[in-house]
Structure 1
Amino acid sequence: MTLAAFGAIHLDTLADAQRAILRDTSTPARLTTRPGGVAANVARALARLSPPCALAGAVGRDSDGDVLLASLRAEGIDVSTVHRSDHPTGRYLALHDPDGGLAAAVVDGAITDALRPGDIDIAHPALAEADLWFIEANLPQPVLGQIAAAAGHRLLAADAVSIAKAPRLAEVLDRLDILFCNRLEGAALLGQRHAGPAPAPEDALAIASALVALGVGACLVSDGPAPLALATAGACLSLAVAPVAVRDVTGAGDALIAGTLAARARGWDIGDAARAGLAAARVTVQAQGAAPVTLTWDAVLGESAAAASPTA
C-alpha cells in the first residue's frame, strides 16, 4: 500500500535551551533547522517506516523552498506535486526547555492558508496511485473538501492539528476512515457538529465515540500521558501510554499518526495499528527532532514488544 500526505510544509527552527526559558531575557540555546509542518513530518516518518510516500502542499519560490524540497527528496519523499507559491515558505520556531518540554512556539503558515482548490494536482500519478491519503487541518476548508471528494476508494485519514483549526474538518467527518485529535481538538470539532449534549471535554473516550457517531470510521483521541482513546462503530478501547524518558517532544503526535498509518498499510487492524503508533511516538521522543534516524519499523516493533512485556 502506498501513501500520500497533504498539508503544511515548513522550515523549522528548534531552540534547545541550556536552562529554563524565561520571559524578558535571552537564554543560551543550541539552534537547529530542519523540515517541518504536520504533513511534512508525517511524510518524513512514513518514509522511514513504510516507503514510498508522496507529499503535497506548498513552498515559496525562495531559497527556503529550494532547501526544503532538496532535503525532503534526500529523505526519499516524492515532492513532485508540491506547489511553488508566491508567498514566503512557511516557518516554525519552537523553544524547548532542557527537559525537552515545549516552552513556546510560533508559526507562519500563511502559505498553506493561501492554498486553493486546483493548486494541488490531485490527478498527478504520485497522488492518484496512492492507496491511503492523509490530510490535516492546516489546509483551508475548500481544499480539504476537494481532497475528500476525490478520495474515492482510498483510505482517508486526517489530523485535527489544533483547537483553532479542528473545525475545518467538520464537513468531511463522514468521509474519514481515521481521525487523529487530542481531547480538546475533538471537543472543538464536536462543537461544530454535535446535535445533542456534548461529552465532557475531559472524557477522551466519549469524545472519540461521539465523533464516530458523526461518521468517522475510527477515532483516536490523545490526552498527553493519559491513555489513548480509540473508538470504532463496534468497539471502544483505552490504550495505555507507556512512560519513557523524554528528550524532545517535537513530532510525537506526527509519529503517532505515521506509525498507525504504516501499520494499517501493512494490513494491521486499527487497534494493533494504534499500538504501533504509540510505539513510534515513544521512539521519537527519546531522540532529537521529528522523524529521527532511530525511527525504523524494527524500532517500532521492539518498542511495542517492550511496552507489552510484564516488566515494561
Structure 2
Amino acid sequence: MSIPAILCIGAVQWDLIGHTADPMPAGADLPGRVSRMPGGVAFNIAQALAREGLTVALLATVGTDAEGEGLVRAGMALGLDMRFLHRGGATDLYLALEAEGALVGAVADARALEEAGEAVLEPLRDGRLATEALPFAGTLVIDGNLPEPVLRGLAASGLLARADLRLAPASPAKAPRLAPLLAHPGAVLQLNRAEAATICGADFPTSLAAAEALLARGVARVLVTDGALPATDGCARRGLLQACPPAVPCRRATGAGDAFLAAHLAAEHRGAGREAALAAALAAAAALVSGDVIS
C-alpha cells in the first residue's frame, strides 16, 4: 500500500452556501443563488493540492448515509485517497450566507467529527500510515475543526515527531483549539488577522503586527492574511516578509484561506522561495474570491 505525501486531517462535509449580491440586514429575504458542494477545510485543501499534482489522503469522518457516500465518490473523482476515512453517524454539514462577496454568518454542524474523536487519527497509530514508534514523516495539514481534546492528545503524543505541520484554524472561534500545536518546531500556522487576534487575545492593526506577536509566542513560522491588505510571512529564523494580494472584485468568501494554504504548500513542495510561495498563495486566494475558480 503506497503512503501519500500529504495528509489533510479535519473537516469533510457538504457545504451549503447562499450568495446574494445585495446587502443583507438581519431578517432579510433576498434573491440569490444557493450552492451545494463537497467542502470542509481538510477537503478543500486536499482537492486544491491534488489539482497541483500532489498525492493527498484525507483523515476525517463521513457518515454511512447517502451524503457520506457522495463525498467519498466526489473525493475519489478528484484523485484524493479516501482509504483512511472513519465512517459512522450522519455526515457533517456547513451552512453559510454570503452577501456582496463577504461572509455574513455560518453554522458548522460537525457532530460526526466531534463524536469520532481520536478514531479519526487511528491510521497514524495502527500501521496503515504510521505508528507511535515510526511516526509519519510527510506533511500533515491539520484544521481547527478537530475537537480540542483530540488536538491536545495529538500534541502530547509522539505522532508528530517527524512531521511537517501546516495548521489551519478554520475560523476565529476555533483558532484557539490549535494552541497545543503551536510550539511544534515544524509547524507553519496559516491564519487571518481575526484568527490571530483570538489566539493572542489582542487586536492587531496589521498582519505584520499579528505575525510579530505570534513569533514572540514561540511559533516557528506564521502566514497572516488580511483580506485585500498586505499579508505577512513571519519566520523565527528568517525574519518577516510582506506582499500585497492582487486587486480583484470580491464575489465570494468561503474557502479563500484554504486556497491560500494549498497554493503556498504546493509552491514550497516545488521548491519555490518565500517570495514566490507567498505570491502564489495570494494569487490563488484572489482567484477564488473573484469567482475565477470553483472549489
TM-score of the superposition, structure 1-length normalised? 0.82
Q: Which residue of 1 aligns with 2:142?
A: 135
Q: Which residue of 1 aligns with 2:16?
A: 13
Counterparts of 1:231 and 1:19, CA distance in 2: 37
Counterparts of 1:263 and 1:220, CA distance in 2: 14
- 3-state SS of 1:174 partner: coil
Q: Which residue of 2 aligns with 1:115?
A: 116
Counterparts of 1:143 and 1:288, CA distance in 2: 36
Q: Which residue of 2 aligns with 1:179?
A: 189
Please tell me whether the aligned partners of residues 136 and 163 of structure 2 are also in contact (alpha carbons under 8 angstroms). Answer: no
Please tell me whether the aligned partners of residues 209 and 232 of structure 1 are also in contact (alpha carbons under 8 angstroms). Answer: no
Q: Which residue of 1 aligns with 2:279?
A: 275
Q: Which residue of 2 aligns with 1:156?
A: 165
Deviations 1:243-295 (A, max 9, x none): 0123322311110010011112122233422221111112222327752xxxx
Counterparts of 1:290 and 1:42, CA distance in 2: 13
In the superposition, relative to structure 1, how do residues 145 and 264 fare at CA in structure 2: closer, same or farther (>3 Å)?
Answer: farther
Alignment of 1:213 with 2:216, yes or no, is: yes
Please tell me whether the aligned partners of residues 12 and 40 of structure 2 are also in contact (alpha carbons under 8 angstroms). Answer: yes
Q: After TM superposition, give the deviation of residue 94 of structure 1 in Å.
A: 2.1
Residue 17 of structure 1 aligns to which amino acid in structure 2?
T
Counterparts of 1:223 and 1:43, CA distance in 2: 23
Counterparts of 1:250 and 1:41, CA distance in 2: 10
Please tell me whether the aligned partners of residues 49 and 262 of structure 2 are also in contact (alpha carbons under 8 angstroms). Answer: yes
In the superposition, relative to structure 1, how do residues 58 and 289 fare at CA in structure 2: closer, same or farther (>3 Å)?
Answer: farther
Counterparts of 2:76 and 2:188, CA distance in 1: 27
Q: From 170, 176, 200, give the equivalent of 1:167.
A: 176
Q: After TM superposition, give the deviation of residue 28 of structure 1 in Å.
A: 2.7
Q: After TM superposition, give the deviation of residue 147 of structure 1 in Å.
A: 4.0
- 3-state SS of 1:230 partner: strand
Counterparts of 1:223 and 1:187, CA distance in 2: 12
Deviates most, 208-217 or 164-173: 208-217
Deviations 1:55-93 (A, max 9, x none): 11111221111111111111111111111122x211112
Counterparts of 2:95 and 2:70, CA distance in 1: 17
Q: After TM superposition, give the deviation of residue 36 of structure 1 in Å.
A: 0.9
Q: Which residue of 2 aligns with 1:34?
A: 37
In the superposition, relative to structure 1, how do residues 288 and 51 fare at CA in structure 2: closer, same or farther (>3 Å)?
Answer: same
Counterparts of 1:111 and 1:24, CA distance in 2: 30
Residue 236 of structure 1 aligns to which amino acid in structure 2?
L
Q: From 35, 47, 51, give the equivalent of 1:44.
A: 47
Q: Which residue of 2 aligns with 1:257?
A: 261
In the superposition, relative to structure 1, how do residues 243 and 288 fare at CA in structure 2: closer, same or farther (>3 Å)?
Answer: closer
Residue 150 of structure 2 aligns to which amino acid in structure 1?
V
Alignment of 1:84 with 2:87, yes or no, is: yes
Q: After TM superposition, give the deviation of residue 164 of structure 1 in Å.
A: 1.8
Deviates most, 113-122 or 18-27: 18-27
| Aligned positions of 1:278-289 closer than 5 A | 278-287=282-291
In the superposition, relative to structure 1, how do residues 290 and 112 fare at CA in structure 2: closer, same or farther (>3 Å)?
Answer: farther
Long gaps (5+) in structure 2: none
Deviates most, 114-123 or 254-263: 114-123
Deviations 1:187-234 (A, max 9, x none): 22123xxxxxx6x52242122122223332210111111100221112
Q: After TM superposition, give the deviation of residue 156 of structure 1 in Å.
A: 0.7
Counterparts of 2:26 and 2:284, CA distance in 1: 33
TM-score of the superposition, structure 2-length normalised? 0.86
Residue 46 of structure 1 aligns to which amino acid in structure 2?
L
Pairwise CA RMSD of aligned residues?
2.3
Please tell me whether the aligned partners of residues 6 and 133 of structure 1 are also in contact (alpha carbons under 8 angstroms). Answer: yes
In the superposition, relative to structure 1, how do residues 255 and 147 fare at CA in structure 2: closer, same or farther (>3 Å)?
Answer: same
Please tell me whether the aligned partners of residues 17 and 96 of structure 1 are also in contact (alpha carbons under 8 angstroms). Answer: yes
Alignment of 1:243 with 2:247, yes or no, is: yes
Deviates most, 216-225 or 127-136: 127-136
Alignment of 1:100 with 2:72, yes or no, is: no
How many residue pairs get matched?
Answer: 282
Please tell me whether the aligned partners of residues 3 and 130 of structure 1 are also in contact (alpha carbons under 8 angstroms). Answer: no
Name the % identity. 35
Residue 168 of structure 1 aligns to which amino acid in structure 2?
R
- 3-state SS of 1:206 partner: helix
Long gaps (5+) in structure 1: 192-197, 292-312
